[in-house]
Chains A and B, each alone.
Chain A
Amino acid sequence: MKPPPFDYLRANSVDEAVAMLAEQGDDARIIAGGQSLVPMLNMRLMRPEVLVDIGKLEETRYIRKSHGSVEIGASTTQGEVMDWDELDATLPLVAKAFPHIGHFQTRNRGTVCGSITHADPSSELPLCLAVLGGEVTLQSSQGARTVSAGDFQQGLLTVDKEADEMTVMVSFPVAQSGEGYAFQEFAHRHGDFAVVAVAAKVTGDSIRLGVGGVADRPEVRQWGLLEGDALDDALNEFAWEMGGSDDIHASARHRRELVRHLGREAVADARQEAGI
């Protein structure tokens, strides 16, 4: 369980990092916290020729409020965001999701941007970004572009990012008053990958529900303020539409039941928080 050999480049700026990516192309991978990448290297699931380390870049270590969003830079760790004193007030959904993400020891190094760019279908942060309708900012030596969460994650570990681009920032829209949020997850042990995770946002006239762990990326549906049987029917339809499959962690049928069950609980919790 040792990583394969690679050349190691430590970037001192984003410009340096993207210049290296432009030079190395497909053979290079960005490493920030390494909490998803290094396990994959150790298990030889990936053999990049070059690692470009941005973990110590001060330039991308920030949490800032800007134009109704919270912007989080590429080297900011999950632990730093979890400790941010404005998190509960600005991003209540993310605050509720954080305790489910790995363990505090992995959150101490793992980054928010890294988790979103890694794009595991059962990850909590891509799910939150999708439900909140956030954005990802990518940079290459040619310039920067911004992609919506819905367009960014395309499938299993697959995102709309070219080989010469790095994720420099993600932005989450700030919660407004009158909204309610809830996060529910079923995993076999605390900190394990979610079998099913659901994130709910309720506003005065809508329910927005995202599900991770079933399809090959987070799936989101938006409904009016459904209740009772109408909500159950919508959840059931959603569960079937995602087409989950059997694996060693759970059967497709178990996953559908979790979507119906956790979905109902999350919507109820979010409605209660919104006072609706």
Chain B
Amino acid sequence: MTKMERAGRYPVEFNLNGEPVDGFASPRMLLSDFLRHEIGATGTHVGCEHGVCGVCTVKVDGKAVRSCLMFAVQAEGAEIETIEGMAEADGSFSALQEAFHQNFALQCGYCTPGVLMSLSEFLGRNPDPTEDEVKVALSGNICRCTGYHEIVQAAMDAAKAIREGAA
């Protein structure tokens, strides 16, 4: 049994985009706040903070999840991926980012990190999706600028690029 008192601050360590990071968190600190305020990884945005809007989506052990519905202390020892780790090692765009750029699939960009992290898991599981499947996959990410049309197109283009890249 591990016990953490409400007023305490406890060390939390995990791998963020393959690199070990650490900080301190009280039990109630959300993973989204820990990433932004303790680690300084502000690419993960915060919106509704009750799991609806999807902007805080990150990958935990390969699965896209809401970082506002998880406490930092629950991430101890996990492999966490955020938007900061999405580009290639040389800094060039990943296929998914490139497709968003080409399709003008963002306007204000606030929802984009969450959309990309969701699509990253989705396209990994379903590399040849239909448009309808993409729309269902995007239903958990709210975008108030684009009207989604360009995002769906970018996801379809990214899937094609990833398939061709893998072939």
Q: Which A residues lie at the B interface, using CB under 8 A? A: 1-12, 16, 20, 34-35, 38-39, 41-43, 51, 53, 55, 79, 99, 102-106, 108-109, 189-191
Contacts and interface: CB of A to CB of B under 8 A. Distances in A.
Contact of B70 (A34, A79, A99, A104): A34
Contact of A3 (B3, B28, B73, B74): B28
Interface in B1-38: 1-7, 26-28, 30, 33
Contacts of A11: 1
A1 B48 contact: yes
Given A16-B1, A38-B69, A42-B68, A103 B7 contact: no
Contact of B30 (A3, A8, A35): A3
Contact of B51 (A35, A53, A99, A190): A35
Contacts of A51: 27
A8 to B, nearest CB: 4
A6 B51 contact: no
Interface residues of B, number: 35
B4 A39 contact: no
A39 to B, nearest CB: 4
Contacts of B121: 104
Contacts of B57: 105
Closest 9 CB pairs of A and B: A103-B140, A1-B49, A8-B27, A39-B50, A5-B6, A190-B139, A10-B2, A108-B63, A8-B4
B33 A2 contact: yes
B96 interface: no
Please indicate which of the listed interface residues A7, A9, A41, A103 has the most CB atoms of chain B within 10 Å of its own CB. Answer: A103
13 contacts: A1-B68, A2-B30, A5-B27, A7-B27, A8-B71, A10-B2, A42-B50, A55-B74, A79-B63, A102-B140, A106-B66, A106-B140, A108-B64
A7 B140 CA distance: 31
B1 A10 contact: yes
Nearest to A190: B139
Contacts of A4: 28
B82 interface: no
Contacts of A7: 3-6, 27
Contacts of B136: 99, 190
Contacts of A191: 139-140
Contacts of A6: 6, 27-28
B100 interface: no
A1 to B, nearest CB: 3
B1 to A, nearest CB: 5
A24 to B, nearest CB: 11
Contacts of B97: none
Contact of A104 (B7, B48, B137): B137
Interface in B58-77: 63-66, 68-71, 73-74
Given A79-B63, A105-B64, A105-B65, 4 more contacts: A7-B6, A10-B3, A106-B51, A106-B69
A104 B2 contact: no
B118 A9 contact: no
Nearest to B26: A5
A104 B122 contact: yes
B54 interface: yes
A100 to B, nearest CB: 11
Contacts of B27: 5-8, 51
A191 B50 CA distance: 14
